[in-house]
C-alpha cells in the first residue's frame, strides 16, 4: 500500500506548438490510460433505426464517460488561446483531428518539409572544433525529423552519413571502424561510443594551447638578460655564427624573435 501511495502520476504533456513531438508524448500518455481508442475511433453510436440492447446502451455510456475524461486531459494539455481556435469540441476525436490538421499540415506541406530536411541532411558535415556528441545530436535531430515526415531511413544510412562527413583528423579512425566492423549491423550507439573513445585519446595527446609560446618567451627572456645592451642577439647564442633556425614546437627561432618584438641584426 505504501508503494501505491508513493506512486507519481505521469505529467500531462503540454502542447508547445511542436505538434509531432507533442502528439507522440500525448499518444503514449493516453495509451497508458487505455483511452487512445477514443482518439482513433471516437464514441461508438447505435445503428440508426435499430433499438439498442441494454448492454449496447451501457457500452455507449461508458465510452462517453471515458471520452469526457480524455477531453479533460486534452484541455489541460492545450493552452486556452489554441483551444479557442478549435470550433468543434464535442469529442476527443474532434479536438485531436483539428489539432492534427492545423499543426501537422497537409500532405503537400509535409512533402515540402521533407525535401528541405533531405537537403539539410545531404550537406551536413561536422564542424571544426565540434565535439562528437554535438555532431551526433545535430545529425540525429535531422534524421528523426525526416522519419516523422515519412522518410524510410534505416540506421545504416545515418551511420554512413556520419562516417563520410567527419573532419579530417578522424580519417584514420573512420578507416579503422569501416575495416573492423560490419556497417550493416553496427548500431548508432556503438559508433558514437567508438568515436568518443578516440576523441578522448586525441584530446589527451594534443599540446595545451600556449605551451609553445610560453617556451619561446622563456627562451627570449633568458637571451635578452644574458647579453650586453649593444650586443646583437645572435651573438648571445653560444657557438653560432649564422642567424639560427631552431624549432621550438612549431616556431622557428626567427619567428620567436618576431613574436617577442626582438630582431636579429649584425
State the helix-helix crossing angle for 171-180 and 155-163, rounded to 10 degrees: 140
The reply to whether 265 falls in a domain is no
Does the residue 42 lie in any domain?
yes
Q: What are the pLDDT digits (tens) for 63-86?
A: 999 999 999 999 999 998 888 888
For residues 174 and 252, state if they share a domain: no
Domain range spanning residue 22? 2-103
Place of cell 453510436: 45
Boundary-marking domain end, from 103, 134, 159: 103
Task: Write down the pTM of the prediction.
Answer: 0.52
Sign of CA dihedral 96, 71, 78, 6: negative
Residue 177 has what pLDDT?
Answer: 94
| pLDDT digit string, tens, across residues 1-44 | 445 455 567 789 999 878 888 999 999 999 999 999 999 999 98
54-77 and 19-32 helices cross at what angle (nearest 10)?
A: 140
Tell me the per-residue pLDDT of 82-100, one tens digit each, with 9 for 90 and over.
888 888 888 999 999 998 8
Stretch 186-196: mean pLDDT, rounded?
A: 95
The whole-number average pLDDT for the span 229-254 is: 47
pLDDT of the residue at 178: 93
**90 within some domain:** yes
264 band by pLDDT with thresholds 50, 70 and 90: very low
The count of structural domains within the chain is 3
> What's the mean per-residue pLDDT of the chain?
79
Q: Are residues 94 and 112 located together in one domain of the fold?
A: no
Same domain, 141 and 193: yes
Q: Using CA atoms, how far apart are residues 45 and 56, in angstroms rounded to an integer?
A: 9
- Given this model, what pLDDT does residue 205 score? 74
The reported pLDDT for the residue numbered 106 is 67
Amino acid at each position: 500500500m505504501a508503494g501505491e501511495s508513493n506512486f507519481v502520476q505521469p505529467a500531462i504533456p503540454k502542447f508547445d506548438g511542436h505538434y509531432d513531438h507533442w502528439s507522440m508524448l500525448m499518444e503514449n500518455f493516453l495509451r497508458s490510460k487505455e483511452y487512445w481508442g477514443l482518439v482513433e475511433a471516437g464514441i461508438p453510436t447505435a445503428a440508426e433505426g435499430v433499438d439498442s440492447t441494454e448492454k449496447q446502451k451501457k457500452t455507449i455510456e461508458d465510452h462517453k464517460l471515458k471520452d469526457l475524461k480524455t477531453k479533460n486531459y486534452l484541455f489541460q494539455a492545450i493552452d486556452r488561446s489554441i483551444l479557442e481556435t478549435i470550433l468543434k469540441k464535442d469529442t476527443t476525436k474532434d479536438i485531436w483531428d483539428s489539432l492534427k490538421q492545423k499543426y501537422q499540415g497537409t500532405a503537400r506541406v509535409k512533402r515540402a518539409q521533407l525535401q528541405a530536411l533531405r537537403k539539410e541532411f545531404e550537406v551536413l558535415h561536422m564542424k571544426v572544433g565540434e565535439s562528437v556528441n554535438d555532431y551526433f545530436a545535430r545529425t540525429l535531430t535531422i534524421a528523426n525529423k525526416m522519419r516523422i515526415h515519412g522518410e524510410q531511413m534505416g540506421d545504416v544510412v545515418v551511420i554512413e552519413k556520419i562516417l563520410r562527413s567527419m573532419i579530417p583528423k578522424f580519417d584514420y579512425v573512420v578507416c579503422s571502424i569501416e575495416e573492423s566492423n560490419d556497417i550493416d549491423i553496427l548500431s548508432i550507439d556503438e559508433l558514437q561510443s567508438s568515436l568518443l573513445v578516440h576523441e578522448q585519446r586525441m584530446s589527451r595527446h594534443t599540446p595545451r594551447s600556449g605551451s609553445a609560446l610560453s617556451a619561446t618567451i622563456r627562451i627570449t627572456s633568458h637571451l635578452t638578460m644574458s647579453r650586453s645592451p649593444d650586443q646583437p642577439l645572435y651573438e648571445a647564442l653560444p657557438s653560432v655564427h649564422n642567424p639560427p633556425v631552431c624549432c621550438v614546437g612549431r616556431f622557428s627561432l626567427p619567428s620567436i624573435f618576431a613574436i617577442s618584438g626582438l630582431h636579429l641584426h649584425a
